[in-house]
Each structure stands twice: as C-alpha cells, then as structure tokens.
Amino acid sequence: MRIRSRSYGRSSQTQDFWPSFTDVMSTVAMLLFFLMLLAYIQNILTGRRLEYFQAELETARFQLARMNTDLEVSQRELDASRLELNSSLLELDETRLNLDVIELRLEETRWNLMQTEEEISLKEIDLKFLEDEIARARSDIAEGQRQLTLSQQEIESQQEIIAMSNEELGNLRSRLSEIAVFRIAILELVSKSIEDEIGKYTDTGEERVSIGQNANIIINETLLFDYDSAAVKNDARQLLDQLANAFERMLDVPDIRLYIDYISIEGHTDSSGSANYNRSLSANRAVSVVNYMMEANPNLEEKYASYFGIGGFSKFRPLEESEDIESMARNRRIEISVVVKDENIRHMIEEYLGEAIAS
C-alpha cells in the first residue's frame, strides 16, 4: 500500500503543483496577515505606550520644570547660604583676629602682671627694710631724746664756753691777720730803708722800688741794666748798695730772721726773643744782682749768704699782657720775694693757742 501511494504520487506530481502553490500562498498570506495583525497590534500597543510615554514625558517635563524651579530656588537659597557662609567666615576671621588681639593683650597683661608682682615683691622687701629702718630710727630717736635730755645742761655750759671763746677767736683772727701781713711788712721795711737812704724816685721821676700785687719788691730793669744786658749799670750801684745794707739790717733782727726761710732774687724779661735766650738773660741778671750785693756788703755774704736764692723766669710771668713799649718795659724787671717759714708760723699759732688755753 505504501508502495502504491508512492507510485500514485509520482504519477500525479504535475497535477498537484498549483494546489500546493495555493496553499503556500495562503499560508504566506495568512502569515503576512498575521504579521500585519501583529504589527497593527504592536502599533496600537506602541501608540498606547507612546501616549503613556508622552504622558510620562509631560509629567517628567513638568516634574523637571518643578525641579528646575526648585533648583533655582535651591540655587538662590544656596547663594544666600553661601553669602551668609562668607559673611559668617568673615565674621569668624574677624572673631579670630579679635581673639588673637585679645590673646596678645592677655599675654601683655600677664607680662605686666608678672612685672607688677615682681615690683610688689621688691616693694615688700623695701617696705620690710623701711620698717626695720623706722624701728631703728625710733630706737635712735628714743636714745637721742634721752641723750638730749641728758645733754641740755651740757649745752647750757657749752654756750657759756662759746660765749667766752668768741672773744678769744676775735683775738686769734687779729693775730693771724698780723701773720698774714708779716711778709709784706718785711718788704716794706726794706723798701723804706732804701727810700730813706737814696730817695723814692730817680731824677727822671721813676719809682726806685715798689711793692707789687704779689707782695714782692719790684725793681725796674732800666734802673739796673742796659737793654739786652746782664751787667749792672753804674747808676744802679747806689740802689743795690742800700738794698744790701737794708737786707743786713733786716736779718740782724732775730725776731724777723726767725720767720724768714729765704730771699729769692728773680729775673724777668719781656716777650721779645726766644724763651731759651730770655731764660739765660733773666737768670744772669738775678745772679748779677746777688753777686753785686755780696761784693758791696761782705758782711751780708758772710752772715746771711745762705738766705739768698736765684731764679730766672724768662718771659713767662709778665705783669702786663699787652705788647706795647710801656708794658714790655714793665715786664723787664727784678723781683725780690721774701719766703716765710710755714713751720715757724705754725709754731706761732700753736704758741698763741697754748697761751689762750692756759689763760
């Protein structure tokens, strides 16, 4: 049977072609219809989904718009918050700066406090020292009051002694004044002795001898020497003779000789010429005066040569600072200075004081 059907099929193959094609085409048409149906359904579904999605999109857009609005509001709020934050940061920075300033002031206050504490400690030490001093002072005052009370009678007795001593002090001052003018009195004695013998003035009206402000006898150079010479002039011999005799008579008095240390013959020149030359000239003139007096009066050299000394002061002790002719002439001179013994004057004072105490 199987075989038959195969054979039958083979013999009728040409006859079944169109039905098969129709089936195929039907199938294809049905398939296309089905596909179109599916497509239609899909389009319907897609349209609905599209509408849904559009609605969702509109909703999303609306939400997005709301979100944008909220975002703008949030952005404004954020900007406001940022401004507030920046303001807060500025305030924080200012607060920190103020805090730093406060810390610096606090540190300075602490330092000042430490210094104040140190000063207080020192003041406390000083106060303690002052309290001790006050205590000692009070003790001393108490002792002083006691001594004052005890010494009131002594004060009264001392007042009597002082009253009695005032008179003695006046006498002592008078005696010391006499001692102070003792040297001048000696020189005036010599000057008067010369004036009594040969007169006070020369024929030209010049004063032979004078007492200077330093209490020395001054003899002008023109009376003794020629200019720029150390040789004694003939006209000066009488003056120096009387000077030598006056010194001898003065030294012959024991009370005068007791207080004389030495007699200095000093030469002085003017400011012209060199210092070395004037030093030699002034010294040579003083030597010439002393040598002449010793030769003119051998007794003076024999008895009192040890009392005489020589000095040359060149131009360094002028009487006048000016350099005119008259001033320079005054500066050229011989000065005679009588030096009194300090020891004998002290002995005189002690002797007087001893007499005052004994009386």
Res 1: pLDDT: 44
Does any domain span residue 271?
yes
pTM value is: 0.48
Does any domain span residue 146?
no
The token duo for 322 is 């000016």
Does any domain span residue 250?
yes
Residue, of 47 and 160, whose pLDDT is higher: 47
Q: For 133-166, how does the pLDDT look when each residue is reduced to its tens digit (9 = 90+)?
A: 888 888 888 887 777 777 676 766 666 666 665 6
Most confident of the following: 114-118, 167-171, 181-185, 287-291: 287-291
Q: What is the CATH number of the domain that holds 201?
A: 3.30.1330.60
Task: Report the alpha-carbon distance of residue 260 to residue 160 in Å, rounded.
Answer: 40
Q: For 233-284, how does the pLDDT look when each residue is reduced to its tens digit (9 = 90+)?
A: 998 898 899 889 989 998 998 888 888 889 999 999 999 989 999 999 999 9
Does any domain span residue 38?
no
Instruction: Determine the Cα angle at 283 with ends 278 and 288, to 5°.
Output: 125
| Listed range (84-93, 233-242, 317-326) with the worst mean pLDDT | 84-93
Put residue 228 in one of left, alpha, beta given phi > 0 → left and psi -120 to 50 → alpha. Answer: left
Res 235: pLDDT: 87
Q: At what angle do helices 237-251 and 182-198 cross, to 10 degrees?
A: 130
Does any domain span residue 347?
yes
Across 23-41, average pLDDT: 80
Task: Report the alpha-carbon distance of residue 316 to residue 271 in Å, rounded.
Answer: 8
Task: Report the alpha-carbon distance of residue 193 to residue 327 in Å, rounded.
Answer: 28
Does any domain span residue 161?
no
Q: For 233, which DSSP code? A: P
Does any domain span residue 84?
no
| Listed range (107-116, 189-198, 282-291) with the worst mean pLDDT | 189-198
8 Å CB contact between 179 and 343: no
Task: Report the alpha-carbon distance of residue 73 to residue 75 in Å, rounded.
Answer: 5
| Listed range (71-80, 227-236, 269-278) with the worst mean pLDDT | 71-80
**Number of independent structural domains in the chain:** 1
Start-to-end CA span in the chain (Å): 208
Which single residue is written with the structure tokens 């969702």? 56
The SS3 call for residue 205 is: coil
Q: Which residues pair with 308 in a beta bridge?
A: 263
